[in-house]
A and B are shown apart, each in its own frame.
Chain A
Amino acid sequence: MSNLLLLLILLPAVAALVCYFVRSSAARKLTVLGTGVVLTLASLGLLGQGTFEPIAVGSFLGISSDFLVTILDFALLGVIFYYGIKHKSILIQGFTLAQAVLLVWFELVMVEHEAVPALMGDQLSLIMVLVISIIGSLICIFAIPYMKEHEEHLHLKTSRQPRFFFYLVLFLGAMNGLVLSNNILWMYFFFEVTTFCSFMLIGHDGTEVATKNSVRALWMNAFGGLAFVLGMMLVYMQTGTLNISAILAAGPAGALMVTGVGFLCLAGFTKAAQVPFQSWLLGAMVAPTPVSALLHSSTMVKAGVFVVLRFAPAYAGTFLSTGVAICGAFTFLACAALGVGQSNGKKILAYSTVANLGLIICCAGINTPLALTAAVMLILFHAISKSLLFLCVGTIEQAIGSRDIEDMRGLYAKHPRTALITIIGILTMMLPPFGVLLGKWMAIEAAADSNIFVIVMLAMGSAMMVVYLARWAGSMMGTREEGARPETQPLLTRLPLTLLCLGAVVLSVASPWIYNSMLAPWLGSTPFVVGFGSLESVHGTFIVVPLFLVLGLGLLYAVKAASGYRKVKIVPPYLGGANATTDGTYIGPMNGEVPFAASNMYLGELFAEGKLTSIFNALAVALIVLMLGGAL
């Protein structure tokens, strides 16, 4: 057991060092591939062994591991402080210094260092380990051919890939450590490592805009780190323990502790880029696409929602819980609205990520077994679909040189495989019977119990998401010339795309069993009963497998009908005039050919980013203050 754990946390660190110091691309490729395979197997092995009670981790070379983590903590804060000075950011320096001072006081004065078992594995941790290790590894593998081409575009003299893969792979180990922590100080350490890795990855290209955005990401997450330290101290003051499972077992004991947990949630909010902290994640779009994919699906932001979800039992039934639900629902609505106004594919995905994270946090705040089930389902399926979509945008961007959805019009004509996978990916984000929608369905059913503000925000946000996803998928469809050249892709690009696409569909079919084997035991109570491949509850029933069968057969029939289109007469579209010989043009004035152009409506007057962002930020700050103030 502990060997597997060491493997999951330490192997990425070792592999990262290999990537950094062995400067051969073949060795790097092998290391990344091998790490991916081993991590995948190890996470499945851990799943096979099942949950485990908190266990102690011994010592390394005679130094106790707790002490080692403390040393590394301060070293890391030192490094972050150094970057604060380097980039002349008072905010980073201030937040880091405050963390260091508080941490010294906490470790030397407050904490009586009793032995706390460092790692634990409940079902939530195991699911997270699977998400991190498998999806994360696929993204790292995708990055191998991607970064090669990326650097060819940049004409670099010396490759920066060793550094890139160092942080990319290290990230996976830090995330595994975070989700398996039982000692809150360990959790804090890994929390900070992910902050640092994301900072280095966002700034990877070293351009002015990349540096600017990485600095913003660092100060916002350093603020989150400060909130984490404060939360940790307050919780310790009330409960007198660093043991997370003991804290959760104690439940919401006293205002001091609930406020502390509130600060921990605030730390989660910054990491999960909830409004008003969304700007760092949007800024992170300047990084190479695999970084975005990693940050948005299996790491970083999922660390944020994980922290909020992990401590859910510690604030169940309090005002804080309602506050968390409202903040999450507000983010869902706000970012869904901001997404409507975007035409940049990556930005659309970014806003949709933040919106979905808001939904997950909202579910954690609703805090009923049904809502918590929804939260975990959303984490799992959102990670798969979103990583797929980011990798698709990356592939498209390298193929057509743009990430704007207007430039992706009719993409099917030239890149049918990529277009098709992207369309499927988009459909798995918004339509039944796929997993993300299953999660959304559960969320709405759970929210009907909670609060009228929450349900109204969810209803509106959910409609807006359909708008921007549907028009994107629709615009990629187009006419393919007969005998057009087939699309070619490197194997290491095609493999992750295909696997993720299959995963999104197949795991959705398996959702009743995922629920039965993983979620029901975690919750202790069972909101759903599984029968006939359906999830039944007192609230309602989602018939997963029958719906898959009916719609799947229907789709097969439709595909068959459509594949016979060569027998059907293909006609040029109606353009309100005489069609010219060239596709998409008509005979206009002076007998000239006028090309037809159309673009999506982005409803700038209602959903302008510039106009709405400041309003949403102000409202969100008010809601967070309300949430924390009300917890006291």
Chain B
Amino acid sequence: METLILVIIGLLVAPLVGGLIAGLDRRVTAWFQSRQGPPIMQAFYDVAKLFGKEKMVVNQWQILCAWVYLIAAATSVALFFAQGDLLLVFFVQAIGAVFLVMGAMAAKSPYSQVGAQRELLQILAYEPVLILVFVGFYMVTGSFSIDAIWAQDIPLLAKMPLLYLALGYALTIKLRKSPFDFSTSHHGHQELVKGVLTEYSGPYLALIEIAHWYETILVLGVCALFWHTNVAWMAVLLLATYMLEILVDNTMARMTWRWMLKRVWVLGMGLSVVNLIWLYAR
């Protein structure tokens, strides 16, 4: 029963908070750039407007893929709130990622094709890191289930700090922030137009936007697990992490996929492996 309530909370609250974070993100970014920025609720206004637009697609696969992306993202968040198995949450999330790519590939458009290839490279970069982070959780708690984490009496950050840093890489990629935002550039005038999202418009783009909010909450949720003992510190950790993401986003130029693969595999995996070796040695 308790699980069911948590799941419902997750399903309803996650997109709201996700949208709010998107709005805040734009405000803070504007502040960095000495602009005023849009209202905090802007993300919701955008999505509402998109829903009101005419439905246009290149073919039916896009409709299917947009919906599956949203459903998979929501399911993974629900599983996360149900204190489920971290690896399984991650694999369910991967359904969404894969369908986003396939939807982009279904359209005969150079921009969305290139975006899809780059998105695949992003998956290639963050997937191993995330799996290793989850193995780290297993090493500490003896289980891949989230509920085992609550039994720990000190914050996991103390035992797996390097894994948290590695998770930062995955977070940057998953949030599509610079320097890793090359599959969907935020700005319409850039060379990619909008990457994987090029061919999505109107209500279907809105679905993808909401799915992205779910994913934001999922990744931040994983970050939150690192300080489960105290809600205040958890909030501080999340705030600091997200602020750092925005800072990085605004101070870094976009990089190439080669640069990303090298960084994330060598540094991200390196950090993870070193941390895992501590945990094994213990």
Binding site for B on A (CB under 8 A): 410, 412, 430-432, 437, 441, 444-445, 448, 452, 455-456, 458-460, 462-464, 466-467, 470-471, 473-475, 477-480, 538-543, 547, 550-551, 554-555, 557-559, 561-563, 565, 567-576, 583-584, 596, 598, 600-601, 606
- B59 CB-CB contact with A under 8 Å: yes
Contact check, A441 vs B91: say whether CB atoms are below 8 A apart: yes
Of A444, A452, A456, A474, most buried by chain B (CB within 10 Å of CB) is: A474
List the B residue with the shortest CB-CB distance to A451: B280
B105 near A452 with CB under 8 A, answer no
In the complex, what residues of B have CB within 8 A of residue A600's CB? 117
A466 and B123 contact, Cβ closer than 8 Å, known pairs A471-B105, A538-B142, A573-B107: yes
Minimum CB–CB distance from A239 to chain B (whole Å) comes to 35
| Besides A573-B198, A574-B109, 14 other A-B contacts (C-beta < 8 A) | A444-B131, A445-B138, A460-B269, A462-B128, A463-B124, A463-B127, A463-B128, A471-B120, A478-B59, A540-B87, A547-B75, A558-B63, A565-B60, A575-B109
Q: Does B224 contact A (CB under 8 A)?
A: no
Query: Could you say which residues of chain A place their CB within 8 Å of the CB of B276?
Result: 452, 455
Q: How far is the CB of B103 from chain A (nearest CB, A)?
A: 8
| B14-22, B93-101, B215-223, B230-238 - interface stretch | B93-101
Q: Point out the residues of chain A lying under 8 angstroms from B59, CB to CB.
A: 477-480, 565, 570
* Contact call A570/B91, Cβ cutoff below 8 A: no
A573 pairs with B199, CB closer than 8 A: yes
Cα A543 to Cα B142 with chains together (Å): 19
Say which residue of A444, A547, A561 sits within 8 Å of B64 (CB atoms).
A561
A542 to B89, CA, bound (A): 10
- B88 near A543 with CB under 8 A, answer yes
Residues of B within 8 A of A441 (CB): 87-88, 91
Q: List 26 contacting pairs A-B, 8 Å CB cutoff, sorted by A.
A: A441-B88, A462-B128, A463-B128, A466-B120, A470-B101, A470-B102, A471-B101, A471-B116, A471-B117, A473-B98, A474-B104, A478-B61, A479-B58, A479-B108, A540-B88, A541-B84, A541-B85, A543-B88, A558-B64, A562-B63, A567-B55, A569-B55, A576-B193, A583-B108, A598-B114, A606-B261
Say yes or no: B87 contacts A444, CB within 8 Å.
Answer: yes
Query: How far is the CB of A468 from the nearest CB of chain B, in Å?
Result: 9
Q: Are A601 and B121 in contact (CB under 8 A)?
A: yes
Cβ–Cβ contact B116 & A460, under 8 A: no
Q: CB-CB < 8 A to A576: which residues of B? A: 110-111, 193
B72 interface residue (CB < 8 Å to A)? yes
Q: Which residue of B lies closest to A596 (CB)?
A: B110
CB distance from B79 to the nearest CB of A (A): 8
Cβ A456 vs Cβ B109 within 8 A: no
Q: With A448-B138, A477-B61 as given contacts, are A538 and B112 in contact (CB-CB < 8 Å)?
A: no
Q: Are A541 and B67 in contact (CB under 8 A)?
A: no
Q: Is B180 an interface residue (CB 8 A)?
A: no
Are A456 and B110 closer than 8 Å at their CB atoms?
A: no
Q: Which residues of A contact B68 (CB under 8 A)?
A: 554-555, 558
Q: Are B105 and A571 in contact (CB under 8 A)?
A: no
Question: Nearest Cβ distance between residue A558 and chain B, in whole angstroms?
Answer: 3
Also in contact, A551 and B71, with CB within 8 A (given A437-B91, A541-B84): yes
Residues in A whose Cβ lies below 8 Å from that of B165: none
- Residues from chain A with a CB closer than 8 A to the CB of B54 are 569
What's the nearest-Cβ distance from chain B to residue A583, in Å? 7
B35 to chain A, nearest CB (A): 29
- Closest Cβ neighbor of A598 among chain B residues: B113
Decide if A540 touches B85 in the complex (CB within 8 Å). Answer: yes
Q: What A residues does B280 contact at CB under 8 A?
A: 452
CB pair A557 B67 closer than 8 Å: yes
Could you tell me the distance between the alpha carbons of A584 and B106 in the complex, rounded to whole angstroms?
12
Interchain nearest-CB distance for A512 vs B (Å): 14
Interface string of B195-222 (1 = CB under 8 A from A): 0001100000000000000000000000
Which residue of B has the minimal Cβ distance to A563?
A: B60
Complex-state Cα separation, A583 to B94, whole angstroms: 32
| B interface residues with partner A (beta carbon < 8 Å) | 54-61, 63-64, 67-68, 71-72, 75, 78-79, 84-88, 91-92, 94-95, 98, 101-114, 116-117, 120-121, 123-124, 127-128, 131-132, 135, 138-139, 142-145, 193, 198-199, 261, 265, 269, 273, 276-277, 280
Asked if B144 and A598 make an inter-chain contact with CB atoms under 8 angstroms apart, the answer reads no
Residues of B contacting A466 in the complex (Cβ-Cβ under 8 angstroms): 94, 98, 120, 123-124, 127
Chain B residues within an 8 Å CB radius of A563: 60
**How far apart sit A572 and B142, CA to CA, in the bound complex (Å)?**
53
Whether B105 pairs with A431 at a CB distance below 8 angstroms is: no
Using CB atoms, name the residue of chain A closest to B118: A601
Contacts of A606 in B (CB 8 A): 261
Q: A456 contacts which chain B residues (CB < 8 A)? A: 128, 132, 269, 273
Chain A: minimal CB distance from B199 (Å): 6
Q: Select from chain A the residue with minimum beta-carbon distance to B277.
A: A452
User: Which residues of A lie under 8 Å from residue B84 when comparing CB positions?
Assistant: 541, 543
Q: How far is the CB of A533 from chain B (nearest CB, A)?
A: 14
Contact for A551 among B61, B75, B108, B132, CB less than 8 A: B75
Question: How far apart sit A432 and B93, CA to CA, in the bound complex (Å)?
Answer: 10
Establish whether residues A574 and B108, one from each chain, have CB atoms under 8 Å apart when the complex forms: no
By a CB distance below 8 angstroms, the chain B residues around A432 are 88, 91-92, 94-95
Taking the closest CB of chain B, its distance from the CB of A603, in whole angstroms, is 8
How far, in Å, is B220 (CB) from chain A's closest CB? 22
Residue of chain B at shortest CB distance from A442: B87
* Complex alpha-carbon distance, A430 and B121, angstroms: 17
Per the bound structure, the CA–CA distance linking A583 and B109 in Å amounts to 10
B72 in complex: contacting residue of A480, A551, A596, CB < 8 Å: A551
Q: Which residues of A contact B198 (CB under 8 A)?
A: 573-574
Q: How far is the CA of A563 from the CA of B61 in the complex (A)?
A: 9
Docked Cα-Cα span, A466 to B276, in Å, equals: 24
Report the nearest A residue to B125, measured CB to CB: A463
User: Given A543-B84, A551-B72, A551-B75, does the pair A574, B111 have CB atoms closer than 8 Å?
Assistant: yes
Residues of B within 8 A of A473 (CB): 98, 102
Q: Is A568 touching B55 in the complex (CB atoms < 8 A)?
A: yes
CA distance A547 to B132 in the complex (A): 24
Nearest chain B CB to A422's CB is how many angstroms away?
A: 13
Cβ-neighbour of B91 out of A431, A479, A541 (below 8 A): A431
Distance in Å: Cβ of A617 to nearest Cβ of chain B: 22
Q: List B contacts of A477 (CB < 8 A).
A: 59, 61, 102, 105-106
Interchain residue pairs A-B with the least CB separation, the first 7: A474-B105, A573-B109, A540-B144, A558-B67, A463-B127, A554-B71, A474-B102
Instruction: Report B141 CB to chain A, min CB distance, Å.
Output: 11
Q: Which of A475, A538, A574 contacts B193 (CB 8 A)?
A: A574
Known interface pairs A431-B98, A464-B124; A455-B67 also in contact (CB < 8 Å): no
A571 to B98, CA, bound (A): 24
Q: State which of B75, B107, B117, B143 has its C-beta within 8 Å of the C-beta of A539.
A: B143
Q: Tell me the bound Cα distance from A460 to B84 in angstroms.
A: 23
In-complex Cβ contact of A573 among B108, B114, B145 (8 A): B108
A562 to B128, CA, bound (A): 33
Determine the distance from Cα of A78 to Cα of B273 in the docked complex, in whole angstroms: 52
A579 to chain B, nearest CB (A): 10
Determine whether the beta carbon of B64 is less than 8 Å from that of A541: no
A539 to B84, CA, bound (A): 11
Q: Which residues of B contact A455 (CB under 8 A)?
A: 131-132, 135, 276
Query: Nearest Cβ distance between residue B17 and chain A, in whole angstroms?
Result: 22
CA distance in complex: A467, B116 (Å)? 11
Q: Which residue of B lies closest to A410 (CB)?
A: B108
B75 to A554, Cβ gap below 8 A? Answer: yes
B63 neighbours in A (Cβ, 8 Å): 558, 561-562, 565, 568
CA distance A466 to B110 in the complex (A): 22
Q: Could you say which residues of chain A place their CB within 8 Å of the CB of B139?
A: 448
Would you give the shortest CB distance from A161 to chain B, in whole angstroms?
A: 39
- Measured CB to CB, the closest approach of chain B to A534, in angstroms, equals 10
Shortest distance in angstroms between B270's beta carbon and chain A's nearest beta carbon? 10
Q: Considering the chains assembled together, what is the distance between the CA atoms of A570 and B56 in angstroms?
A: 6
